[in-house]
Structure 1
Amino acid sequence: MGKVGRKMGGSPMMGLGKSNAKIYKENDIKITFDDVAGQDEAKESLKEIIDYLNNASKYTSIGAKLPKGALLVGPPGTGKTLLAKAVAGEANVPFLSISGSNFVEMFAGMGAAKVRDLFQEAEKNAPCIIFIDEVDSIGKSRDSQIQTNDEREQTLNQLLTQMDGFDSTKAIVVLAATNRPEILDKALLRPGRFDRRVIVDRPDLKGRIDILKVHSKGVKLGDDVNLEEIAKSTPGAVGADLANIVNEAALRAVKHGREFVMQEDLREAVEVIIAGKEKKDRILSPMEKRIVAFHEVGHALVAALLENTDPVHKITIVPRTMGALGYTMQLPEEEKYLVSKEELTNQIMVMLGGRSAEEEVFNLLSTGASNDIERATKTARSMVTIYGMTDKFDMMALESVQNRYLDGRAVRECSDETSTLIDEEILKIIRTCHESTKKLLRENRDLLDKISEYLLEKETIFGSEFMEFVYDKYPELRDRKNKKVKDANQVIEI
């Protein structure tokens, strides 16, 4: 019988205490600021660090102390890691990269040992950049309600000690990334540590255009490609999403036997990212198909007849792999940073347009409106608890947003009695919007029927086709920038 537990390849204990950080020599980093698009403000904030790494003596001779660390804050996929690498590429210095989760060990004291090893490696490679991704893994607040353990606290203490102790004349800069800045320990953020915060947020329209240009550099594009149109159709998208869209479009072009990407490939790629691929094997019954058609036209018609709503771009009843039996796509004409109470109310009415159409035409309630109901309720809740848009609570803060860069979850900060009153206000908004939406569709039943029958025939129609039906009945809308129905006051008093 052979020996049990024979060792092969050396002891697994030998790697303990080593940081195992990825070390990129200056010549290994080919990424520069030219490769980072849509983050002009963030790049501007980091240029001082690049100059410091290249000309440290210029700062030390005058007695200036630059920040030892900078915190890159933003949602997932916005390019925080890429930006950190670009800083190293621009400065032409080594780049030591490690994830915060790599410091957490099952053996006591190993996390702290890894931190020490990381900074020892940095001193050998100075001037250089240390990059700690997901720093919240080790930097959670020690006095918060989040449960911590001794190993993580020792690791955090060691990180603080190392940042305080390393020689500032050696030009070592620590960059860290997080999408949960609110849970970081305050000691990490005090002067001399991560006292500079760089926001790496979702790009605006210009930023999305620039990002699409960067990711399409190596892709053969057709003459009809309009990246601005694609950027306009992807509000809220981050760099990773846009890279995925360009790649998805290239794959589609190859699948269809083309040697270059056309605009239709990019348009379909946007829809694949939003709703999934077309699910052609999902066969709806004639009645189900009819319900879906009226449901989607209900959304679109309410959007067309109300003021200050995003224009309808496309309506389809072709099922998608992410579960949608059909959908209505609206695209904003411009970037908006402020939304009025009227606009939020109209958004809720558009969300409720599908269910309301089902009720008016078929006198039934189906499961197809579940997502609409969820989104409408969330919007109404925000109006009451966060935006201060009701008379009952005036400008009283009732909820605070947690994880702003992740799910944006709101935590209620009020008594149980007040919570009951909040629910009553939310129901009041939803009910008022619901009744107004049904009334609007009832008054325009002829349009609802005509467009739905056309959609059943075509399966997919675009905004220009759809709006011709609306213009036939309301020609005054064609020449108005803000869509409005004559003699219909759609500003709802809540």
Structure 2
Amino acid sequence: MKPNHNNNMPQLGGKRPKFNIYWVWMILAVVILSWGLLGNEKVTHTTTWDGVKEMIEKGDLQKIVVVNKETAEVYLKPDKVASYSDRKEYKGITEQGPQFSFNIGSLDYFQHNLENAQTEYDQEVPLSFETRRNIWGDAFTLIFPILILVGIWWFLWRGMSRGNNGGGGGIFSVGKAKAQMFDKDANVNITFKDVAGLEEAKVEIMEIVDFLKNPGKYSDLGGKIPKGALLVGPPGTGKTLLAKAVAGEANVPFFSISGSDFVEMFVGVGASRVRDLFRQAKEKAPCIVFIDEIDAIGRARSKNVGYSSNDERENTLNQLLTEMDGFGTNAGVIVLAATNRADILDKALLRAGRFDRQINVELPDLKERREIFDVHLKNLKLDPKLDRDFLARQTPGFSGADIANVCNEAALIAARNNKKQVEKEDFLSAIDRIIGGLERKNKIIIPSEKRTIAYHEAGHATVSWVLEHANPLIKVTIIPRGKALGAAWYLPEERQITTKEQMLDEMAAILGGRASELLNFGKVSTGALNDLERVTKQAYAMVAYYGMSSEVGNLSFYDSTGQNDMALTKPYSERTAQEIDAEVKKLIDGAFQRSLETLEKHRAGLTQLAELLLEREVIFAEDLEKIFGKRKGEIRKELEVKIEEPLNSEPSAE
């Protein structure tokens, strides 16, 4: 077998390089520059008038030619060239002139000097004048601007053509939809298995996906696929994640776009993009269109016609309404949308035939939080003893995004402490960090202020522990966090409705800090600002929203549509406003008096708790149980369990 001597030779197989218009421009530029700089170059030496005068004296000059009244070209006699070419400084001189050149300065002065030199040395040197044009300079001055304009025009036309062909650039592509399309070939790894909780929402969404996969199952019974589904819920609950799961599960094209992508500074662009989006969707039908944050274009239309002569957002909304359910047919296009502000959406957008279903994606309950923790804890190196049910119980009111943040923050805290695994304390620290902010242990607090803070937080803890319907306490600290100088963490019950008694107990617990300051020091401080804000809002809600006042009665001035946000007047009279204010003050004064009475009754425990806080800076529910005993609510629950146990037990054989 012969050895291969061409192993080091490059392989010339494959496609040849494609022709590129840039090559033509580069070659043309090189040719022009080379021709202009090197085409007619002659070897001439620069000299001065003194040198020329010496040549006149020797009788070596044949003639002098003045070019453009600026430069003099000096020609030697043919028989005198050899005497100059032998010199080192004049190397390269040829018989074909001119051999020298110099700048004459003033033409009159040069002619005068030349006449004097000819008279002095009795030599006659012919003098002539020429006007020469710089062909390349003039051509460059004339052609270069034209080339620039042609180049700009070509680039714009090329961009416009690319935009018309569906590309992302181009001046004409401003009206094109910026939707991202996912089809069966796209690598979307998120499925419904990755969406923890949201069981009810997944049932309705999966039904739409199943209709696209098996349309005959529904059409045989006369059923029609819903035209649209609106995902509604607080931020971070998984609305966009649910849409991603639909993209991963559906075997049909999936268009994803944000509501803000429709709005531009140009008039008519939003409506044009809506038309283009549905045009693409109809070409790919059956398909799904997902519009995230639809409230950017779906806000209720203004009734003030004279407010704006041309409202771009309203034009975009009108076009969306027409495309979803207008005169034309729109079969096979399902619209999914997500928002956390459904109350401000236009009623025409929410009607049946456009969004047939509103799917509520609420904050997860205890079971769903457990499932969400299971998803986010997969990639963490955990302590084997970690109780995930405990984590779910410690995070009431947390959304899926909050739980993901807790898991990530716990891993960062564990790494900061050089741990090999993430433990229970790291998760508790992460929850505290997210709720209250970062600890500021280096903040300097004088002893008198620290004592006030301790008694303030002890007042909250005491009242919330003693009153039956107040939220049970978890932890109290006087270590500054964020903007707060102290904090108390509670574990609110997960209930669907709240009674008046429960709200009054919570108000008394909120005012426990102010009451403790007044009871122990005889004066109050600014530390209760947040407490007063919360209790005032809750009291107004009880009177004006929930109808929990005997004077005002069963009236509610709450506007679920959100239309009153723009109103300039209140939905009640001045007399009613005075009654509401009086009832609110009555509720707050009553709650404050209950706090004072409760703290006075348990003053010894309050003092013991405050001193323990000053000593340890952090106390837990176990410490309160040692001081005050078990809470009334806990005792009542234990009694209910003991009563129910015999009823649920199996009858004995005897």
Answer yes or no: same fold by TM over 0.5: yes
Which residue pairs with 1:52 in the alignment?
A: 211
Counterpart mapping for 1:91-130 below 5 A: 91-130=250-289
CA deviations on 1:337-395 (whole Å, 9 max, x unpaired) are: 12111110000000000011011111122111001111111111111111111111221
Q: Does 1:329 align with 2:484?
A: no
| Number of residue-to-residue matches in the alignment | 472
* 2: CA distance, partners of 1:45 / 1:443: 55
Which residue pairs with 1:453 in the alignment?
A: 611
Which residue pairs with 1:444 in the alignment?
A: 602
Q: Is the 8 A contact 1:111 1:155 kept in 2?
A: yes
Q: Select which of 621, 632, 635 maps to 1:480.
A: 635
Q: Does 1:228 align with 2:389?
A: yes
1:118 aligned counterpart, secondary structure: helix
Which residue pairs with 1:87 in the alignment?
A: 246
Q: Does 1:339 align with 2:494?
A: no
Q: Select which of 352, 363, 368 maps to 2:527.
A: 368
Q: Does 1:32 align with 2:209?
A: no
- Normalising to structure 2: TM-score of the pair? 0.68
Q: Is the 8 A contact 1:292 1:325 kept in 2?
A: yes
> Could you list the runs of 5+ residues in structure 2 that have no partner in the other structure?
1-143, 161-169, 639-654
CA deviations on 1:243-296 (whole Å, 9 max, x unpaired) are: 111110111111111232111111111111101111122111111111111000
Counterpart mapping for 1:87-486 below 5 A: 87-143=246-302, 150-164=311-325, 169=331, 171-320=332-481, 322-332=482-492, 334-401=493-560, 413-471=571-629, 480-481=635-636
Give how far 1:68 is off: 0.9
The one-letter amino acid of 2:477's match is T
Percent sequence identity is: 47
1:222 aligned counterpart, secondary structure: coil
1:400 aligned counterpart, secondary structure: coil
Q: Is the 8 A contact 1:70 1:197 kept in 2?
A: yes
The one-letter amino acid of 1:21's match is A
CA distance 1:156–1:217, shift in 2 (3 Å): same
1:456 aligned counterpart, secondary structure: helix
* 1: CA distance, partners of 2:301 / 2:634: 60
Give how far 1:143 is off: 4.7
Segments of 4+ in structure 1 off by > 6 A? 2-9, 145-148
CA distance 1:144–1:316, shift in 2 (3 Å): farther
* 1: CA distance, partners of 2:516 / 2:398: 31
Give how far 1:30 is off: 1.2
The one-letter amino acid of 1:425's match is E
* 1: CA distance, partners of 2:535 / 2:637: 23
Which residue pairs with 2:40 in the alignment?
A: none
Q: Is the 8 A contact 1:74 1:178 kept in 2?
A: yes
Q: Is the 8 A contact 2:458 2:610 kept in 1?
A: yes
Give how far 1:481 is off: 3.0
Give how far 1:443 is off: 2.1
2:471 aligned counterpart, secondary structure: coil
Give how far 1:325 is off: 0.8
Give how far 1:73 is off: 0.7
Q: Is the 8 A contact 1:112 1:159 kept in 2?
A: yes
* 1: CA distance, partners of 2:283 / 2:394: 48
Give how far 1:128 is off: 2.2
* 1: CA distance, partners of 2:552 / 2:505: 21
* 1: CA distance, partners of 2:172 / 2:354: 31
Higher relative contact order (CA 8 A, sep 6+): 1
148-157 or 277-286: which moved more?
148-157
* 1: CA distance, partners of 2:550 / 2:280: 60
* 1: CA distance, partners of 2:529 / 2:560: 24
Q: Is the 8 A contact 1:33 1:83 kept in 2?
A: yes
1:176 aligned counterpart, secondary structure: strand
The one-letter amino acid of 1:390's match is S
CA distance 1:400–1:223, shift in 2 (3 Å): same
Give how far 1:17 is off: 0.7
437-446 or 85-94: which moved more?
85-94
Counterpart mapping for 1:64-75 below 5 A: 64-75=223-234
1:315 aligned counterpart, secondary structure: strand
1:175 aligned counterpart, secondary structure: strand
Root-mean-square deviation (CA, aligned residues, Å) is 2.7
Q: Is the 8 A contact 1:85 1:95 kept in 2?
A: no
* 2: CA distance, partners of 1:479 / 1:192: 51
Q: Is the 8 A contact 1:352 1:434 kept in 2?
A: yes
* 1: CA distance, partners of 2:495 / 2:547: 19
Q: Is the 8 A contact 2:552 2:579 kept in 1?
A: no
Q: Is the 8 A contact 1:36 1:86 kept in 2?
A: yes
* 2: CA distance, partners of 1:145 / 1:46: 38
CA distance 1:439–1:402, shift in 2 (3 Å): farther
1:481 aligned counterpart, secondary structure: helix
The one-letter amino acid of 2:502's match is E
424-433 or 143-152: which moved more?
143-152
Give how far 1:402 is off: 5.8
CA deviations on 1:124-155 (whole Å, 9 max, x unpaired) are: 43332111011111112225579775322221
Q: Is the 8 A contact 2:343 2:560 kept in 1?
A: no
Give how far 1:24 is off: 2.2
Q: Is the 8 A contact 1:129 1:174 kept in 2?
A: yes
* 2: CA distance, partners of 1:298 / 1:14: 67
The one-letter amino acid of 1:434's match is F
* 1: CA distance, partners of 2:549 / 2:625: 34
CA distance 1:441–1:145, shift in 2 (3 Å): farther
150-159 or 97-106: which moved more?
150-159
The one-letter amino acid of 2:491's match is L
* 1: CA distance, partners of 2:222 / 2:633: 65
- Normalising to structure 1: TM-score of the pair? 0.89
* 1: CA distance, partners of 2:204 / 2:220: 22
1:218 aligned counterpart, secondary structure: coil
* 2: CA distance, partners of 1:397 / 1:239: 32
Counterpart mapping for 1:2-41 below 5 A: 10=159, 13-26=171-184, 27-41=186-200
CA distance 1:144–1:58, shift in 2 (3 Å): farther
